[in-house]
């Protein structure tokens, strides 16, 4: 991270500063703001007024990192503005990060899921409290348990109902239609005691015994600023919360946890829709799922989200067809409305082969992320994928090709819950051990990552952490 310092600005002291305006940041802010505290969210993202549809300028990025995520980057440049330059990562897998008002929630379709009691406990979260917070978050984001399905969805669900002996559950995922965390910022701005500070990348944080000092710089002109708060909640997404803390504590070369899911994509043909006209605009993207009826070390053994095709997937699929691109493209457009993508995910636990550490490189630092599956994990996943293929067939879907996908948008770990303090860990309330005023409010604290979609639980936990901080004022 290069920071050219022109000026230095000092700011006021807040009761609570939250770093990050993604789903975690905004839901940590709600209980504190509603209670009347002086709350600020500092975010590295641009204010939405500066939103642009201009594609990312790849000449500014390291071309070796602009790989699989190219389509996403081009489509949503606002969400990824300067991410590759300012949030440097060295890794064999491709990790999607965001610098935006609203974080990564700005580009997805609000598909949510609830974790079971056992899953919450494995992560290190108090199940009873999170289950209550689920209800509060569901109201805030207007979560709908069932919305009408598209043709594919209806046919698949019907097949599942007709098969009395089907092993795994097929169900509809709850959806918060078009929820964007940036809309929560607008909602919070109605409170006079809430301040939104965009465009500021937090660099370091210091626990000064009586207050916390937060150092940031503006992403456009590198002006450094300092803010103070009685309490700080880091919610910059697990990777960037970890990065800020490793840097602030001078923990270079220190290996800490990193969790992301093993991930496979199976393209399937739904024969029954070949003759039916499907209205693609009316379809619900990724709303149907298959859940394993078995567990693996206490977490659901696999989760499959079924997507209708989209042009992005079409573009990706072309390279797997052993035909000239033009012919492959024509062939695909013929069957495209009958394609369903099964997105297969497995849970993950802390292990030596999966870690991250901050490396110092002169004036800059870069976060190294290592994610390797051992032989046993690879074997289990391969066997499960074969079993899932059989299940897909029984639902009327013909699996065509499976590829493993090394692009990740679901991640956790870095600052894990530990009863016995380590150099970088939190207690059960989310407070960083050895400090009195610094908390982590995102998935950096998780000890495991279930196969299901994580964001509803990220929001519920952030609310819980916000309330834990609120108790300090009472």
Say whether residue 356 binds ligand FAD (CB under 6 A): no
The yes or no reply on residue 22 touching ligand FAD (CB under 6 A) is yes
In the stretch 26-65, what mask flags binding to ligand FAD with x, by CB under 6 A?
A: ----------------xxxx--------------------
Q: Pick the stretch among 23-31, 263-271, 429-437, 465-473 that binds ligand FAD (CB under 6 A).
A: 23-31
Q: Is 32 helix (H, G, I), strand (E, B) or coil?
A: helix
Instruction: Work out whether 451 is an interface residue with ligand FAD (CB under 6 A).
Output: no
Query: Following DSSP, what letter does each residue of 208-223 receive, concatenated?
Result: -SSSEEEEEEETTT--
Separation between Cα atoms, residue 36 and residue 38, nearest integer Å: 7
- How far is Cα 61 from Cα 72, in angstroms, rounded to an integer? 15
Of these, 111, 291, 369, 395, which contacts ligand FAD (CB under 6 A)? 111
CA of 192: how far to CAs of 39, 46, 50, 187, 226, in Å?
Answer: 10, 22, 23, 11, 22
Q: Which is nearer to ligand FAD, 106 or 396 (CB)?
A: 106
Applying CB under 6 A, does 414 fall inside the site for ligand FAD?
A: no
Q: Is 292 in the site for ligand FAD (CB under 6 A)?
A: no
Report d(CA 92, CA 94) in Å as an integer: 7
Helices 23-34 and 455-473: crossing angle, nearest 10°?
30
The SS3 of residue 256 is strand
Q: Which is nearer to ligand FAD, 399 or 414 (CB)?
A: 414
Q: Name the residue among 121, 94, 38, 353 with its Cα closest to residue 239.
A: 94
Least CB distance from residue 459 to ligand FAD, whole Å? 8
> How many residues appear in the chain?
474
**Any contact of residue 406 with ligand FAD (CB under 6 A)?**
no
Going by C-beta distance under 8 Å and a sequence separation of 6 or more, which residues neighbour residue 334? none
- 337 vs 443, which CB is nearer to ligand FAD? 443
Q: Which of 15, 23, 225, 466 binds ligand FAD (CB under 6 A)?
A: 23
- Of the candidate residues 17, 29, 89, 99, the single one contacting ligand FAD (CB under 6 A): 99
Give the distance, in angstroms, between the CA of residue 257 and the centroid of all CA atoms in the same chain: 16
Exactly one of 39, 56, 104, 289 binds ligand FAD (CB under 6 A); that residue is 104
17 binds ligand FAD (CB under 6 A): no
Give the residue with the Cβ less far from ligand FAD, 105 or 468: 105
Task: Write the interaction track for ligand FAD spanning residues 145-174; mark x where CB under 6 A is met and - where it is not.
Answer: ------------------------------
Contact between 202 and ligand FAD by CB under 6 A: the answer reads yes
Smallest gap, in angstroms, from Cβ of residue 132 to ligand FAD? 19
Q: Is 455 in the site for ligand FAD (CB under 6 A)?
A: yes
Residue 270 CB, shortest distance to ligand FAD, in Å, is 21
What is the DSSP track for 100-164? BTTGGGGGS--B--PPPHHHHHHHT--HHHHHHHHHHHHHHTT-BS-----HHHHHHHHHHHH-T
Q: Binding to ligand FAD by residue 175, rule CB under 6 A?
A: no
Q: Is residue 461 close enough to count as binding ligand FAD by CB under 6 A?
A: no
* Contact with ligand FAD (CB under 6 A) among 17, 37, 73, 100: 100
Q: Which residues contact 393 (CB under 8 A, 6 or more apart)?
A: 399
Binding residue for ligand FAD, selected from 257, 453, 461, 468, defined by CB under 6 A: 453
Cα(278)–Cα(336) distance, rounded to whole angstroms? 11
Other CB atoms within 10 A of residue 91 CB: 17
Give least dist CB 423 to ligand FAD, A: 20
Q: Is 289 in the site for ligand FAD (CB under 6 A)?
A: no
User: Which residue lies nearer to ligand FAD by CB, 244 or 339?
Assistant: 244
Under 8 Å CB-to-CB from 147, ≥6 apart: which residues? 175, 177, 284, 287
Residue 120, judged by CB atoms within 10 A of its CB (0-12, 13-18, 19+), counts as buried
| Binding stretches for ligand FAD (CB under 6 A) | 19-25, 42-45, 96, 98-100, 103-105, 107-108, 111-112, 201-202, 235-237, 240, 244, 409-410, 442-443, 453-455, 458
């Amino acid at each position: 991270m290069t920071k050219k310092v022109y000026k230095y600005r000092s700011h006021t002291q807040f009761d609570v500063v939250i770093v990050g305006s993604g789903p975690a940041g905004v839901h940590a802010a709600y209980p504190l703001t509603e209670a009347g505290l002086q709350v600020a969210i500092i975010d590295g993202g641009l204010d939405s007024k500066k939103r642009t549809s201009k594609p990312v300028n790849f000449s500014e990025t390291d071309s070796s990192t602009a790989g699989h995520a190219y389509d996403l980057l081009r489509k949503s440049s606002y969400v990824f503005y300067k991410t590759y330059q300012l949030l440097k990562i060295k890794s064999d897998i491709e990790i999607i990060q965001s610098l935006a008002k609203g974080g990564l929630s700005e580009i997805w379709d609000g598909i949510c899921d609830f974790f079971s009691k056992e899953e919450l406990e494995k992560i290190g979260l108090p199940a009873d409290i999170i289950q209550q917070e689920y209800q509060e978050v569901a109201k805030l984001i207007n979560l709908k348990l069932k919305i009408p399905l598209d043709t594919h969805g209806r046919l698949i669900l019907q097949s599942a109902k007709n098969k009395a002996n089907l092993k795994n559950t097929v169900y509809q995922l709850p959806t918060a239609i078009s929820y964007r965390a940036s809309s929560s910022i607008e909602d919070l701005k109605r409170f006079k005691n809430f301040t939104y500070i965009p465009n500021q990348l937090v660099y370091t944080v210091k626990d000064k015994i009586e207050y916390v000092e937060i150092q940031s710089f503006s992403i456009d002109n590198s002006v450094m600023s300092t803010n103070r708060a009685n309490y700080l909640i880091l919610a910059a997404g697990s990777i960037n919360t970890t990065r800020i803390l490793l840097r602030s504590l001078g923990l270079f070369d220190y290996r800490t946890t990193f969790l992301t899911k093993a991930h496979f994509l199976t393209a399937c043909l739904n024969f029954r829709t070949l003759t039916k006209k499907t209205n693609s605009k009316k379809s619900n993207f990724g709303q149907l799922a298959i859940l394993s009826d078995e567990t693996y070390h206490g977490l659901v053994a696999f989760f499959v989200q079924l997507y209708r095709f989209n042009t992005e997937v079409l573009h990706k699929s072309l390279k797997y067809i052993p035909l000239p691109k033009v012919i492959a493209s024509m062939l695909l457009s013929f069957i495209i409305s009958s394609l369903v993508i099964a997105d297969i995910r497995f849970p993950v636990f802390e292990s030596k082969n999966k870690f991250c550490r901050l490396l110092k490189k002169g004036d800059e630092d870069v976060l190294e992320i290592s994610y390797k599956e051992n032989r046993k994990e690879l074997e289990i996943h391969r066997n499960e994928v074969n079993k899932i293929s059989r299940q897909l067939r029984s639902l009327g879907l013909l699996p065509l090709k499976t590829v493993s996908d090394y692009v990740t948008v679901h991640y956790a770990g870095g600052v894990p819950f530990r009863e016995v303090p380590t150099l970088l860990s939190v207690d059960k309330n989310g407070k960083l051990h050895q400090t009195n005023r610094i908390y982590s409010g995102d998935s950096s604290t998780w000890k495991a990552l279930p196969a299901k979609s994580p964001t509803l639980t990220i929001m519920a936990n952030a609310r819980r952490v916000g309330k834990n901080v609120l108790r300090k004022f009472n």
